[in-house]
Amino acid sequence: EAGVAQSPRYKIIEKRQSVAFWCNPISGHATLYWYQQILGQGPKLLIQFQNNGVVDDSQLPKDRFSAERLKGVDSTLKIQPAKLEDSAVYLCASSRSGGPYEQYFGPGTRLTVT
Amino acid sequence: RKEVEQDPGPFNVPEGATVAFNCTYSNSASQSFFWYRQDCRKEPKLLMSVYSSGNEDGRFTAQLNRASQYISLLIRDSKLSDSATYLCVVNNNNDMRFGAGTRLTVKP
């Protein structure tokens, strides 16, 4: 079974630029999560989708972050404009619906904002 | 108070040692609990779920104390390969909250 795929793996941008991350969850997993993990901290949930609907985006900085999951499969997370404090690893995870079930994480995208 | 708190460590132990981590949570309505393991520069992976009655998986034992709102992870006979960060996860209505993790280094 293929795992959660993410791209790109690394991204370096300057502050005020835009960036987008892509995630493809495990086939059949209805629930998709985006986390931000700053060095030395645990993952912080940014947004949770159930199919293509948003379940929880209470910790998403909506003035600069946006996410979508069209057709309930792939998802993109965008930051516009980026700030220095957005430097982190962005992790995508998926799980079966009706949980809480085990979350399977992708390898993450390491973002550096200079 | 943070929702999920862990001692960041690091815990440095010799091979064969027994080591225990605690994790406290603030929301008494939390329903389910997990331990995840994260290797350096890797993604988190589920180590074990934590059941009310406590559960064991080989050298690993997890326990839940609802009255005191903490969960624990005990590792017996530590191996070099156990070196990692151990993340406590607390769930309330499918809202999963991660602790900052406890770093363990097992030395020869």
The 10s digit of each residue's pLDDT in A36-47 is: 999 989 999 999
Chain B partners of A55 at a C-beta cutoff of 8 Å? 94
Q: How far apart are CA A33 and CA A39, in angstroms?
A: 19
Q: Is A108 on the interface with B (CB under 8 A)?
A: yes
Is the distance from CB of A28 to CB of A94 less than 8 angstroms? no
Top pLDDT among A52 and A20 is at: A20
Per DSSP, what are the bridge partners of residue A113?
A13
Chain A partners of B46 at a C-beta cutoff of 8 Å? 102-103
Note the pLDDT of residue B11.
95
Q: How far apart are CA A32 and CA A30, in angstroms?
A: 7
Of B66, B68, B106, the closest CA to residue B86 belongs to: B106
Note the pLDDT of residue A27.
93
* Max Cα distance, chain A (Å): 40
User: Average of pLDDT values for A64-85?
Assistant: 95
Query: In Å, how far from its chain's centre is CA A19?
Result: 12
Confidence of residue A99 (pLDDT cuts 50, 70, 90): low
A101 has pLDDT over 80:
no
Q: Using CB atoms, which residue from A31, A43, A56 is nearest to B44?
A: A43
Is the distance from CB of A68 to CB of A57 less than 8 angstroms? no
Give how far B87 is from chain A: nearest CA, Å: 7
Q: How many helices (H) and strands (E) does chain B have?
A: 0, 11
Q: How far apart are CA A100 and CA A103, in angstroms?
A: 8
Note the pLDDT of residue A98.
63
CB count in 10 Å sphere of residue B41: 9
A1 has pLDDT over 70:
no
User: Average of pLDDT values for A69-85?
Assistant: 94
- For chain B, how far is it from start to end, CA to CA, in angstroms? 37
Of B63, B10, B32, B21, the closest CA to residue A103 belongs to: B32
Q: Using CB atoms, which residue from B43, B46, B96 is nearest to A106?
A: B43
Measured CA to CA in angstroms, residue A71 lies from A17, A53, A76, A98 at distances of 28, 10, 12, 19
Q: Output the six-digit token pair for B33.
A: 């609990």
Surface of B (65-94) touching A: CB under 8 A: 87, 91, 94
% residues pLDDT > 90 (chain A): 84
Q: Is B44 on the interface with A (CB under 8 A)?
A: yes
Q: Output the six-digit token pair for A52.
A: 């293509």
Reduced to 3 states (helix: H, G, I; strand: E, B; else coil), residue A68 is: strand
Q: Lowest mean pLDDT: which of A26-30, A69-73, B40-44, B80-84? A: A69-73
Note the pLDDT of residue A12.
98
User: Average of pLDDT values for A30-40?
Assistant: 94
Q: Note the pLDDT tens digit of each residue in B19-47.
A: 999 999 999 999 899 999 999 999 999 99
- As to burial, measured by CB atoms within 10 angstroms (0-12 exposed, 13-18 middle, 19+ buried), residue A40 is exposed
- Residues of chain B falling short of pLDDT 70: none
Confidence of residue A96 (pLDDT cuts 50, 70, 90): confident
